Structure 1
C-alpha cells in the first residue's frame, strides 16, 4: 500500500469514529454535546449550527429531519464525498494533483456560506433555515 493513502484513510477512520459517536449519542437530548460556541456567544446561528443533529438524522436515514436541521449539509455532502474519493484515488495511484479550484469557485463557496449564515438568522426565514 502506498504511504500517501494513509492520510485519506486516517481521515475516513476519524470520520467513521465521529459518526459512531453521533449515532450512539442523541444530539437532540441536552447534555450530550456542547452548545455551538457562536450561538452561545452571539445568539446567532452559524453555518454549521444543526450539523450534528443533521448527521444524526442522516445516520438514522431521516433525510427530512436532516434537511430541517441544516439543508446546506445535504447539498454539500456529495461534494465532500467526491473530493475524498478523488483524494484517495490520487493518493493510491501516485498521480499529483492537476487541478486546483479557481478563485471564482472559492469566492462562490464563501459567498454561499456567508449568505446561508445571514439568511438563517433573518426572522422571516427562521422557521425554514434555522436548526
Structure 2
C-alpha cells in the first residue's frame, strides 16, 4: 500500500505574492480580501490618438460637405423644424450658413449667420487640442464642469434665442 494515500494531504506551498507592478494574473488577495486585477497593459501612442484623430476627420468631412453644398441655396438642407412650425429662430438657426462661411474663411459672414456657432467652433478647437495633447501624453481627458456652468451655457443660449427674435436684436438673426 502506498504511504501517501493513508496520510493526510499536505497543503500546497503558498504562491509568491504579486504586487500591482508585477505583470501576470491577478495577485492573491491580502488577508482574505478579494483578488485585485492586474494592471492593464500600456496602450501605444497611435492607438491613444486614434479617437481624437477620428473625431477631427469626421468634423473636417462635415465642414467639407457644408463648404461644397451651399446651404444658402434652397432645397439642399431641411428647414429648421422650430422655424417652420413657430416662426421663431432657435439657437442653431443659421448654423449651416455659418459653417459654410467659416469653411470659406469668411469670419464676418459666419459671425453674422450665427455668432454662437462660431464661438462653439472655437470651444471645440480648444477642447480637441487639449484632448490630443493629453492623448499623446497618455493621460485621460477629464473635463468636469459644475452644474452652474451648464446652467450658464443654457442661459446664454436662451438669451441669444430671445434677443435674436426681438426687433432690436435683428443683427443676430441669420
The answer for the alignment partner of 2:173 in structure 1 is: 130
- The answer for unaligned runs of 5 or more in structure 1 is none
Moved over 6 A (4+): none
Between the aligned partners of 1:97 and 1:83, the Cα distance in structure 2 is 9
CA contact (8 A) 1:26 1:56 kept: yes
Which structure has more helix as a fraction of its residues? 1
Number of the residue aligned with 2:57: 13
Aligned to 2:112: 68
Q: Deviations over 1:95-128 (max 9, x none)?
A: 13454112222221111111111111113312x1
- 1:38-91 deviation line (CA, Å, top 9, x unaligned): 212221111111011011111222111111101112233222100011112222
Say if 1:98 and 1:67 are closer, same or farther in 2 by CA, change over 3 A. closer
TM-score normalised over the length of structure 1 = 0.88
Identify which of structures 1 and 2 has the higher relative contact order when contacts are C-alpha pairs closer than 8 Å and 6+ apart.
1
> Quick one: distance in 2 between partners of 1:68 and 1:11?
27
Tell me the distance in 2 between the aligned counterparts of 1:120 and 1:109. 16
Q: Which one of the candidate residues 75, 91, 103 is aligned to 1:31?
A: 75
How many residues are matched? 130
Query: Paired residue for 1:117?
Result: 161
TM-score (norm 2): 0.68
Larger Rg: 2
* Aligned twin of 1:103: 147
When the two chains are superposed, the root-mean-square deviation of aligned CA atoms in Å is 1.6
Q: Please say if residues 64 and 103 of structure 2, whose CA atoms lie closer than 8 Å, have aligned partners that are also in contact.
A: no
